[in-house]
Every structure is written in C-alpha cells, then in structure tokens.
A and B are shown apart, each in its own frame.
Chain A
Amino acid sequence: MARLQCPACDGIYRDVLADGTRYFHTCPPIVSARVQRLGAWHVVPLADVQPTDVIRVQRGRAVVETTVLLMQPDDQRLDDRTAPRPNARNENVKGGPGPDASAQIAPGADPIVVPDSG
C-alpha cells in the first residue's frame, strides 16, 4: 500500500486501497487558458498565466477583454480549454484475451514513492 506520486501530473495516490483492491491511476486532463500576450493570442497552461495577460471574460451580459490582474470577482473567464495531458499515464490494464491483458495502457515513467506524512 505505497503512497505514490505520478511523474507526469504530480498527483498523489495509493496503489492499493484500504479494501485491498488495486488502484489504477490515470492522469487528469490539463487545464489551459487563452490569453493575449504582446498582441497575439496563445493557449497556456493555467500555471503559466501571468497577471499582465489579457483574457476574455463574461462581465454581466457583456463579453469584455481585461488583464488577469484587473479581473472582477464576478467575471467569468472564457475560452478555458481542457485537453489530454502530454505524456499522460494510464495505469489501467489493457484487458481482453491477449497475452498482454495485464499490461498497462500507458505506463510512462515509474511513479515516485512519497512518505505517508508528505
């Protein structure tokens, strides 16, 4: 019952659950925002969004452009994207009748063991 960290998404999980069954981690999709930098629009991961980036938001009934820094609490950021994560891992097995039925769908790099207190 190791506590593991996925090298692709940094998610933390246990490979065996409390009821003794195995847990098969799959990486979640990556969330990106559409931002304007230096006059050009880009799609960047959420972690890379800068305060000076321009975004489109729904403000009341209007769609307006504003910087991230000047976003109002009730603004709703538009144009977010959810896409499969590059190098996403999928520990689920392939299944089926073939000899590789127990092979993982997308094993990727080995997960890292992390201490329980971490």
Chain B
Amino acid sequence: MRDAPADTPQPLIAAPGGFYLDAEHHLRLLSLNSAAGVTLTVTAQIMLASGEVVWFTQAHTPNTDRTSANTNVFVADGWLMNATIFVSGGSPRIGQTFARLDVIRGRTGAIITMASLLAGYVTAFDRLVWPQNAPRSSVAGRGVLRSVAGTDPAANTEISETVPTDARWRVLAIQVNLVTDATAANREVSLLIDDGTTVFARVPVGTNHAASLTRTYSFATNTARNTIAQDPVLNAPLPELVLGDGFRVRTVTTNLQATDNYGAPQLLVEEWIED
C-alpha cells in the first residue's frame, strides 16, 4: 500500500498499524457458515483526507454449507479507524459462523489479500472489532455442540455417517438401535472409524445380540463396557477422536442378516468449521 498523501490528516486516535485505503485498496468480508438464516454486517469508520470521519456499512449473506462466501466493501480514500463484523440476522453459535475481514488490492480479476484484520467466530452476542480483536483460527477454542440425526438405513445395511465437507468433529457419543430378525445367529456390533477409506479405530461391543431382539447400542467417551447381555442397552467406550471432513463413523456387524435393521443413529459432536 502506498503512503497517504502528505496533506492527509493523521487520525487523532490512530489504530495500531493503521491502514490507509485508497482507490486500489478495499475491504473484503469472507465467511464460512453452517447455520441457517444468518446475515452479517461489516461497518468501517474512515477518516477522509478532509478530516471528516464517515461510516461505511455492507451486508453479507454467508453460505449454509460451510463453503466460503465473500463481499467486497468499497470505501472512500482515507484512514481506516475501526471495523466491526456483527450478526445482523439469525442466531449462530460459536463454531457455526466464521468471519474474516481482509484488506485487498484490486476490484476484479487477480485480487490480492494484503492483510487480515479480523478472523473469528461471531454470534448474536459476540462481534469482531478491529483493532481490539486479534485474528483467530477457526479450530481454536471450543466448537458448537450438535446433536446430529443420521440416516435410517434400509434392512441389512450398516450405519455410516460422514463428517461434512469443511467440518471438523469431535465425536462425543453415538446411539443406535438394531432390530435382529428371526435367523438364529449371534450378531456382534463393532463401531469403525475411518478416513473415508482406511479404518484407524475399531470398537467391538463385545456382547452377542441374538435373534429377534431389539438392542440399543450406546457409544460414549468416558463410559465403560456393559457386560450384561440381557440389558437392552449395550454400552461401549468411544475413543476420543477428532475427525476431519470425509471421515466416517460406521458399524460392522458380524452375522448381519437379510432383514436385520438398524435405526437412524444419533450423534453428539463438537463441531468446528475447517476450510
């Protein structure tokens, strides 16, 4: 960025590392979001060459599939005094709406990012303010707790849930029902976790599930294995694992029969956005 013209008044309260924005330099708001109905607003306070201080406001609608959306904010030539990103619609929680404010060079074509002023999660209560807030990673701190209802598979089909694109999950608990048919064979359920292809963790429940029975399988961190086969709820410990997008949580069932039927799994996960 070039220096401000010599006759430009210096801000009375200069932002640390203050930015002079001219015709080539602008602001860009980027977002990564998983929540529904969210809108963001960025405001910027600029001191013009005349010494007048003006406000710029720009609304922005994030995508809901965690992919990046961006809005350029074209401001007048002058010193950037402060900037704020806040939630102007919806009620995202920490871990759901990640926003970043960049200084960019250019309007179209090859736009170059010169600096990132702000980065972090915003909620209806928490906003990002430059220069007070330092940029943060989208996987820093705690994520959002989500209860995820998976797919109810057809008969003779294992459950399989995939971490969505651009999400990071810490799986805390999984519960699923299995109804066995009348075929006289003992089933044994194992939970498998893989990277989409290769298995890296396997948790066998260690209890047989006989014919014509409904059992609830409950995997959770910090739990012990249930050793009572007659109990309709079978517990098993879940390793503390952080999973990237495309990783899968699924079952493999010994002696699964043609009309054995799993219900929809319910997962408790801590989720971050990870681009």
How many chain B residues touch A (Cβ–Cβ < 8 Å)?
50
Query: Is there an interface contact between B149 and A23, defined as CB atoms closer than 8 Å?
Result: yes
Query: Is there an interface contact between A21 and B250, defined as CB atoms closer than 8 Å?
Result: no
Interfacial chain A residues near B152, Cβ < 8 Å? 11-13
Query: Is there an interface contact between B162 and A24, defined as CB atoms closer than 8 Å?
Result: yes
Residue of B nearest to A11 (CB): B151
In the complex, chain B residues 163-184 whose Cβ is within 8 Å of any chain A Cβ = 164-166, 183-184
Query: Is there an interface contact between B264 and A75, defined as CB atoms closer than 8 Å?
Result: no
Query: Is there an interface contact between B158 and A28, defined as CB atoms closer than 8 Å?
Result: yes
Closest Cβ–Cβ distance, residue B4 to chain A (whole Å): 33
Q: How far is the CA of A28 from the CA of B68 in the complex (A)?
A: 28
In the complex, chain A residues 65-112 whose Cβ is within 8 Å of any chain B Cβ = 71-77, 80, 82, 90, 92-95, 97, 101-102, 105
**Known interface pairs A46-B257, A77-B185, A95-B66. Does A11 touch B146 (Cβ–Cβ under 8 Å)?**
no
Query: Is there an interface contact between A28 and B157, defined as CB atoms closer than 8 Å?
Result: yes
Residue of B nearest to A95 (CB): B165
A113 at the B interface (CB under 8 A): no
Interfacial chain A residues near B150, Cβ < 8 Å? 13
Interfacial chain B residues near A22, Cβ < 8 Å? 34, 36, 64-65
Q: How far is the CA of A21 from the CA of B183 in the complex (A)?
A: 39
Q: How far is the CA of A85 from the CA of B28 in the complex (A)?
A: 43
Q: How far is the CA of A68 from the CA of B250 in the complex (A)?
A: 26
Closest Cβ–Cβ distance, residue B250 to chain A (whole Å): 7
Contact of A77 among B162, B255, B264 (CB under 8 A): B255
Q: How far is the CA of A82 from the CA of B248 in the complex (A)?
A: 14
Query: Is there an interface contact between A31 and B157, defined as CB atoms closer than 8 Å?
Result: yes
Query: Is there an interface contact between A73 and B35, defined as CB atoms closer than 8 Å?
Result: no
Query: Is there an interface contact between B156 and A31, defined as CB atoms closer than 8 Å?
Result: yes
A45-79 near B? 1/0 per residue, CB < 8 Å: 11101000000000000000000000111111100
Chain A residues engaging chain B, CB cutoff 8 angstroms: 6, 9-14, 16-31, 45-47, 49, 71-77, 80, 82, 90, 92-95, 97, 101-102, 105
Chain B residues engaging chain A, CB cutoff 8 angstroms: 34-37, 63-68, 96, 146-162, 164-166, 183-186, 210-211, 245-246, 248, 250, 252-258, 264, 275
24 A-B pairs with CB atoms under 8 Å apart are A10-B154, A13-B150, A18-B149, A19-B147, A20-B35, A23-B148, A24-B164, A24-B165, A25-B151, A26-B162, A27-B160, A28-B153, A28-B158, A28-B159, A46-B258, A47-B156, A73-B210, A77-B185, A80-B254, A82-B252, A90-B162, A93-B67, A95-B67, A102-B65
